[in-house]
Amino acid sequence: MKNMNYDLIIARYGEIGLKRPHVRSMFERKLIANIKFVFKCDIKINQGRIYIIPQDYKKACDKLKKIFGIVSFSLAITTKTSLENIEKNST
């Protein structure tokens, strides 16, 4: 893993995304509550992705591996959508 200044974790869930909107939002809320119970963080959700801003990234990654419902997650850096900004943040 490259030593970068990650500022969020993108978590993805699986079968929750197949549910009807009302049921899906109920499961999303429960999943978010479970994440916040395990470690301190801020969370936003958008289009089937959970954006997590933890206080401790290493601890968060270790804990996310064990949370039921999380299919995968990635460390990420937020940037503007221009090639110049993307290149600057990827080095």
Structure tokens at 4: 């970068």
DSSP 91: -
Q: How many domains does the chain have?
A: 1
As to burial, measured by CB atoms within 10 angstroms (0-12 exposed, 13-18 middle, 19+ buried), residue 9 is buried
Q: Could you tell me the CATH number of the domain that includes residue 83?
A: 3.30.70.1510
Residue 74 belongs to a domain: yes
- The whole domain housing 48 covers 8-89
Please report, in angstroms and rounded to a whole number, the separation of the first and last CA atoms in the chain.
Answer: 13
Distance from C-alpha of 49 to C-alpha of 10, rounded to nearest angstrom: 6
Q: What is the pLDDT of residues 54-73, one digit of tens each?
A: 998 999 999 999 999 999 99
**Considering the domain boundaries, does residue 3 fall inside one?**
no
Cα 64 from chain centroid?
9
pTM of the shown model: 0.81
30 inside domain: yes
In this structure, is residue 2 part of a structural domain?
A: no
Tell me, yes or no, whether 1 lies in a domain.
no
Model confidence over 42-57: pLDDT tens digits? 999 988 789 999 998 9
